[in-house]
Amino acid sequence: METNQSKHKIRICLGSSCYTRGNAENLKIIQSFVEENNLNVNLDFRGHLCHEDCNRGPVLSIDEVLYEEVQPFQVEKLLQEKLI
Ligand code: FES
């Protein structure tokens, strides 16, 4: 049985621009959310290096949809909508 197909995918930019402008905090929020909601099994969560979207950062993607200028106060709502 293939279970990977149903996995949600989160990618967060850990390049220095995104990281210092919000993704350091966003990363912590995502990690806490995943832990609190026991989402680890069904989640493929990885960081990546800068891919030159810095001027629209901090960037992250959920299930291949790119979100730009993501501020920490927006992250939990986004996760609730996409993962729960
Ligand atoms: S640091 Fe995130 S796109 Fe450049």
**CB-ligand 1 contact for 22 (6 Å cutoff):** no
What's the pLDDT at 80? 97
Domains and CATH numbers, the chain: 4-79 (3.40.30.10)
Q: What is the CA(1)–ligand 1 centre distance, in A? A: 37
**CB-ligand 1 contact for 51 (6 Å cutoff):** yes
**CB-ligand 1 contact for 79 (6 Å cutoff):** no
**CB-ligand 1 contact for 62 (6 Å cutoff):** no
pTM: 0.92
- Express each pLDDT in 37-57 by its tens digit: 999 999 999 999 999 999 999
Burial of 58 (0-12, 13-18, 19+ CB in 10 A): buried
What's the pLDDT at 6? 73
Q: What is the CA(64)–ligand 1 centre distance, in A? A: 16
